[in-house]
Amino acid sequence: MQKRILLCLAHMSGNEMKYIEEAFADNWVVPLGPNVNGFEKDLEEFMSGGLPTDAPADAKKVVALSSGTAAVHLALIACGVGPGDEVMVQSFTFCASSNPVRYLGATPVFVDSEPQSWNMDPDLLDRAIADRIAVTGRKPKAIIPVALYGMPYRIDRIMEVAAKYDIPVIEDAAEGFGSSFAGRRLGMFGRFGVLSFNGNKMITTSGGGALVCPSAEEGKHILWLATQARESYPYYQHETIGYNYRMSNICAGIGRGQMTVLDEHIAHHRHVQELYCELLGDVEGVEMHRNPWPEADSNFWLCTLTLAPGLHVKGEERAYAQVVTGAVGGAAGVTHAAATAQTDCQPNRNVEAMRMALDEANVEARPLWKPMHRQPVYRDCPAYVNGVSENLFKVGLCLPAGPFVTDDDVRYIADVIKNSIVK
């Protein structure tokens, strides 16, 4: 039986047990300890390694946390976001970029994408901020661009817009760990940078994330918030609401082992991308998404393609014929039953037919993220759209790219795609 080829699943390096065993031997089975400190230092060294030679190498502090979502949440708090505020958020993303805005009683204002990178459109962002100031009399409190599938956003232009209005940038580089723009790591440009080490990311701590902070002092403040904001008394005194967001010493031990194979993982993902491009490059109606500019260097966390609307795929008549049952979304799946088989915004039938064909061939593939401005939970939020993300959502598909995906797997996947197209 053909093995199940998963989208992206990090694998162990063999070094993780060393750090985990040390944690148990020293009884550091808590949300702090030597592994947490060591993992943060490893991350700081990796992130600063992409800095230009004239940039200060010690300017940033990394705080390891329980998830990337927690990192977004704490960054928003540090930027002063609260009830009644607005935050500019990329619409084409996973909900973890915008949900924390709601946690704080604030409103996400969604900004559509530019067609090259599929990420936040800087010109549309500029116009949207000007309009929000005109409408509300106040400027937004933060800007959150997202490195969709690892692809760098146009951070030079986004930072120009942010400087124009004096608004802090929170880079959501959860999917872009190891990606860079003009030789500098994503997550190092804005006031804060968000990283994720979920089980399907470039490296994993089983679950976890980190926040890249602008200084040691800011990192100390984030750490205080992440450990329930306890005051320095011999008893528990709390004068600010805090959170239980610190990474455990065990998870950090996994992360330290994973850091030893990070460069290998990134190289593998980029190799898989190149092989997909080679095998599918001459298939009419199929287009792989590639680095759009010379400055962009994606980690290709996931490899993505688009299918031309006029391309026909075998099995289109079965697309959306019945409600999906069972778990959806891999290890972090959900089983909440949908009310209907279709919604008013969904991928084209040929895209769903291709996903189904790959699924029947034991290949996990998924549609692109559904834009947040088309999500029912955000229907009442302001949105500045140009049609790019909705059009991409209708035609796009994510292909496997993880460390367990071999060259033979990529050839197999490419053959399934080719054979599923109606000649």
Q: Where are the beta strands (DSSP E) in 255-406?
A: 286-288, 296-297, 303-307, 366-367, 383-384, 396-399
Query: Is 338 found in the same domain as 228?
Result: no
- Split into its structural domains, the chain has a count of 2
Query: Is 276 found in the same domain as 207?
Result: no
Q: Residue 65 falls within a domain, yes or no? A: yes
Q: Tokens 């009419």 map to which residue?
A: 284
Query: Is 268 found in the same domain as 180?
Result: no
Residue 256 CA to residue 260 CA, distance in Å, equals 7
Q: Residue 169 falls within a domain, yes or no? A: yes
How many C-beta neighbours within 10 Å does residue 349 have? 18
Domain that holds residue 256: 16-261
> Given 199, 234, 261, which residue is the final one in a domain?
261
For residues 409 and 277, the answer to whether their CB atoms sit within 8 Å is no
Query: Is 191 found in the same domain as 102?
Result: yes
From first to last of its 423 residues, the chain has per-residue pLDDT tens of 578 999 888 777 788 888 788 878 877 776 778 999 999 999 999 999 866 656 565 589 999 999 999 999 999 999 999 999 999 999 999 999 999 999 999 999 999 999 999 999 999 999 999 999 999 999 999 999 999 999 999 999 999 999 999 999 999 999 999 999 999 999 999 999 999 999 889 999 988 999 999 999 999 999 999 999 999 999 999 999 999 999 999 999 999 999 999 999 999 999 999 999 999 999 999 999 999 999 999 999 999 999 999 999 999 999 999 887 765 655 556 667 788 889 999 999 999 999 999 999 999 999 999 999 999 999 999 999 999 999 999 999 999 999 999 999 999 999 999 999 998
Q: Residue 7 falls within a domain, yes or no? A: no
Which CATH number do you get for residue 378? 3.90.1150.10
- Nearest one of 415, 266, 153, 175 to 274, comparing CA atoms: 266
